[in-house]
Structure formats: structure tokens, C-alpha cells
Amino acid sequence: MDDNKNTDNGGRKGTDNKRSFPRGPQRQRKPGQQLRPEDDFNWNKVLKVVLSWSAIILLVFLVMTLFKGTEPTELEVSYAEYQSFLTAGQIERATVRKSELTNFDFHGKLKTPQHVSRNGREVPLTNFVLTLPIMDSPVIQSWNDHKIDFTVEKEDNTWLSALLSALPWVLLLVVWLIIMRRMQGTGPKGIFSFGKSRAKMLNEGAPKVTFIDVAGADEAKQELMEIIEFLKEPSKFQKLGGKIPRGVLLLGPPGTGKTLLARAVAGEAGVPFFSISGADFVEMFVGVGASRVRDLFDQGKKSAPCIIFIDEIDAVGRHRGAGLGGGHDEREQTLNQLLVEMDGFEQNSGVIIIAATNRPDVLDPALMRPGRFDRQVVVDRPDVKGREG
């Protein structure tokens, strides 16, 4: 029973089960750092309220538009056509509305439908509109003479009408921005962060993991000691002209502690640790994966010396071949950008890339070339001695 406990969680000792690790989406803070009020802001609740009210307002506008669309269609007529309708006594009622700063619209309804010529064909006409540059007094007088029932509507607020007409588009824009922020993670900085890396950074504020917490991987720990010494004292290697591998590939079956071992290397060296999964690079949008790779390496350069850990690199580092587009091309672009970034690192930049996989047979050969993941460390299941440790 004790042996099984010691090998659970990738070779982690069972005596450390009492160690408390942060759970859930709680924000980590450094000693002495205070959390800002916006850090605890409930974005999910705000999102639900905004989406609910936006849906209600859009529904109201839709209903108003449908009812408005049931009104009889008006045709614009010329002054001569209007005079012919007036002389024939066909106008039943009329309404005067101010359409622009100087123009007035005279809306009228005929007693019986008339046919007018439009674009070379006869069109039935019942409701018409006549636009004049001024409030024509003779027109009003002619309505009185022919006993036409007419009304003059009060001038609408031009600015208010413009705002009401633009409100649906503003609401659609707000809803789109909220959806985009929702797709890219929480927080006010996630609205335009499609190309931002999703790597999680563990620093001195997080619980420290060292080689003491890793059991049954003595050979792998011995091979990684050179990396730790370089991160602790890079000047010593630079004076001697030593070269440290830019990338280390951890190979082994699932559950052998590859992720824990990578964290232990950062803990032993006392450097920041960036952790990301290979599946986090690839999205349905073209170019997002390559942009996230660039952003990840930029963060690593700013925090050097540090360790960048890419788990399940086989999700993005598979053999490149003849694809038919879509996600295949996006994955290849992401892999190409990863190779370019690793080639662009200086030999002693202080940034070490550690990747883990349990499928080394599917990886692209370009990943294992010199200057990339040329150092491979096997993390196998612990033997009897390792289980006893």
C-alpha cells in the first residue's frame, strides 16, 4: 500500500500529501502584495446581466421594426402628380412632418388607388409623400379649400432620433466585444488578447517544488543537474565557454512525473516557471497559434533566467505533411513559429525550454535537431528502489 502511495502523482512522495496547493481560479499574490478590488470582480455575473438586457432591448427593437414594416408603403411623387391628385379630389387625408433641417414631407393617402408610372411600368399608389424645401402655405391652403383632413406633427429631436437609430448597432458591438472577451479568458485585458499566450507563470509566490518532492526518477534528476547549475550561475559557464542546450525533451509514459520534474528544476534553480499545454496554441482562427508562441517567448525573455515548459508538445509538434487546410495548416504554422523562436535564442540567453511527451514517435524530426530539443531525458516508471524512496 505504501509503495502505491509513493508513486502516485508522477512519483511524488506520499508524505507530501499535506502540502496545500492553490485550487480553482484564485489569483496568486506575492508576499506583501495586496489584491486590487478589480481582481475579485465577478465578470461572469456582469456578463450574464449585460447579455440579458442586450437581448431584451434587441427584442424590443425587433418587434418595433416588424410592426413598423406592416405600415402601407409610401411612394414619392412629383409636384405635378400631387396637383393632379388634388384636382381630382383623390386625397383623403394628409400629414406634415419635418424630415431634415429645411425640408418638409407631406404624407397623403388617396381615397381610391391610382396607377403611376415608375421605371417603365404601372405601379398602384395609395400612400404618397411629397418633399418640399419649405412649409408651403399654398399647399396648406389648398387642403383647406378641398376639405382635406390634415395634421402637423411636432418636430422630433434630431439628436435623439440619431441615437435611437444607432443604438442597435452599439448594442451589437458591445455584445460582440463581451463574447470575444469571454472566448479569450476573464479579466479586463482579455478583450483583444487573441494572440496572447495562455501560459501560467509560477514564481516565488507559489508553493516551491524541488527534487525532494520527486521520487523514483534519480537518473532523470542527475541529467537535469547541469541545467540547474547553469540557471544558478550562468556566468561560470560563460567564462568557460560552455554551451547549455536550449531545449530539453522529457520522454516517458503518462503518470511518471514529467510535469512535476520540470517544476522541480525551476524550484531548485529558483527561477520563474511558465507552463502551457501544446493544445493551448492551436485555435480555430488562423495565425492565433503562431502569435501565442511569439508572446510566450517574449514573456520568457523578459523574465530570464526562466524555464518555459510545454506539456504534450505532440499536440502541436507532429510530423508536417500534405494537409488539406483548416486546423492542419494552423498547427503547422504554430510549429514553424516555435522552431523559428528556438533558433532565434542566443546560446546563453538564460531561457530553457522543457517539453514533455509520451509520443516521441509522432514528433517532427526538426524538433530534435541541434539547437532545439537535442537533449532528451527519459522519465520511466520507478523501479523497486525508486518506489521504496
How many CB atoms sit inside 10 A of residue 207's CB?
A: 13
Phi, psi dihedrals of residue 218, rounded to the nearest 5°: -65, -40
**How many domains, in total, are found in the chain?**
3
The residues pairing with 214 across neighbouring beta strands, listed in sequence order, are: 12
The C-alpha cell that represents 56 in the structure block = 431584451
Q: Domain span at residue 54?
A: 46-68+159-183
Residue-level pLDDT at 71: 47
Same domain membership, residue 173 and residue 312: no
Could you tell me the pLDDT band of residue 192, with boundaries at 50, 70 and 90? very low
Position 11 pLDDT exceeds 50: no
Q: Which long-range contacts (CB under 8 A, 24 or more apart) does 209-214 make?
A: 209/260, 209/263, 209/264, 209/266, 209/267, 210/264, 210/267, 210/268, 211/264, 211/268, 212/13, 213/12, 213/13, 213/16, 213/260, 213/264, 214/10, 214/11, 214/12, 214/257, 214/260, 214/261, 214/264
Q: Is the peptide bond before 305 cis (omega within 30 degrees of 0)?
A: yes
Whether 32 is in a domain gets the answer: no
Report how far apart the first and last C-alpha atoms of the chain are (Å, whole number): 14
Candidate from 119-123, 191-195, 312-316, 328-332 with smallest mean pLDDT: 191-195
**pLDDT > 90: what percent of the chain?**
2
Nearby residues of 4 by Cβ (< 8 Å), 6 or more positions away: none
Mark whether 259 and 124 lie in a shared domain: no
Q: Predicted confidence band at 31 (pLDDT cuts at 50, 70, 90)?
A: very low
Q: Please give the pLDDT value at position 161.
A: 64
Buried b or exposed e, range 326-336, using 16+ CB within 10 angstroms = eeeebbbbbbb
Q: Within a domain: residue 117?
A: yes
Same domain for 250 and 120?
no
Distance (Å, whole) CA 96 – CA 153: 6
Q: What is the pLDDT of residue 204?
A: 55
Is residue 108 helix, strand or coil?
A: strand
Asked if residue 336 has pLDDT above 70, the reply is yes
pLDDT in tens, 347-358: 556 788 899 999
Name the more confident of 337 and 235: 337
Query: Are 361 and 315 in contact, with CB atoms under 8 Å apart?
Result: no
Model confidence band, residue 101 (pLDDT cutoffs 50, 70, 90): low
Q: Is the pLDDT of residue 198 over 80?
A: no
Do residues 362 and 318 touch, judged by C-beta distance below 8 A? yes
Same domain for 142 and 242, yes or no, is no
Flag whether pLDDT at 253 surpasses 80.
Answer: yes
Distance of alpha carbon 200 from alpha carbon 299, whole angstroms: 11
Per-residue pLDDT band at 25 (split at 50, 70, 90): very low
The residue among 247, 322, 308 whose CA lies nearest residue 273 is 308
Q: In the sheet that 200-202 helps form, which strands lie side by side, from edge to edge?
A: 200-202, 273-277, 306-311, 351-357, 247-251, 375-378
> Taking 80 as the threshold, does the pLDDT of residue 220 lie above it?
yes
> Tell me, what CATH number does 282's domain have?
3.40.50.300
- Mean pLDDT for the stretch of residues 335-349: 77
Say whether both 373 and 267 belong to one domain: yes
pLDDT of residue 184: 53
Residue 323: what pLDDT?
A: 52
Residue 28 lies in a domain: no
pLDDT at 212 over 50: yes
pLDDT at 35: 43
Write down the H helix ranges in the chain: 2-11, 43-69, 79-87, 137-145, 158-183, 218-232, 234-240, 258-269, 288-302, 327-343, 384-388
Q: State the amino acid at position 136 in one-letter form.
A: D
- Is the domain of 111 the same as that of 227? no
Amino acid symbol at 159: W
Residues in the chain: 389
Residue 315: inside a domain, yes or no? yes
Residue 21 lies in a domain: no
Q: Are residues 271 and 310 in the same domain?
A: yes
Asked if 130 and 206 sit in the same domain, the reply is: no
The stretch 154-168 carries a mean pLDDT of 65
The CA-atom distances, in angstroms, between 1 and each of 7, 215, 313 are 10, 16, 34
Cα Rg of the chain (Å, integer): 36
For the segment 144-157, what is each residue's pLDDT rounded down to a tens digit? 777 777 676 665 55
Q: pTM of the prediction?
A: 0.52
Of 177, 184, 189, the closest CA to residue 39 belongs to 189
pLDDT at residue number 388: 63
pLDDT digits (tens, 9 = 90+) for 269-282: 888 888 888 888 77
**Phi, psi for 114 (deg, rounded to 5):** -120, 160
Residue 36 lies in a domain: no
List strands edge to edge, sheet with 104-118.
74-76, 121-132, 104-118, 91-98, 149-152
Average pLDDT over residues 176-202: 57
Q: Is 205 among the domain residues?
A: yes
pLDDT tens sequence across 59-96: 777 667 665 544 457 778 887 887 888 888 878 777 77
Which of 375, 353, 350, 344 lies closest to 237 in space, CA to CA?
Answer: 350
Confidence band of 360 (pLDDT split at 50, 70, 90): confident
The reply to whether 255 and 179 lie within a common domain is: no
The reply to whether 50 and 82 lie within a common domain is no
Least confident of 26-35, 48-57, 377-386: 26-35
Same domain, 138 and 222: no
Domain annotation covers residue 202 = yes
Buried residues in 162-200 as b, exposed as e (16+ CB within 10 A)? eeeeeeeeebeeeeeebeebeebeeeeebeebebbbebe
Mean pLDDT across the chain:
72
| Statement to judge: residues 384 and 278 lie in one domain | yes
Q: Is pLDDT larger for residue 16 or for residue 344?
A: 344
**Between 182 and 28, where is the model more confident?**
182
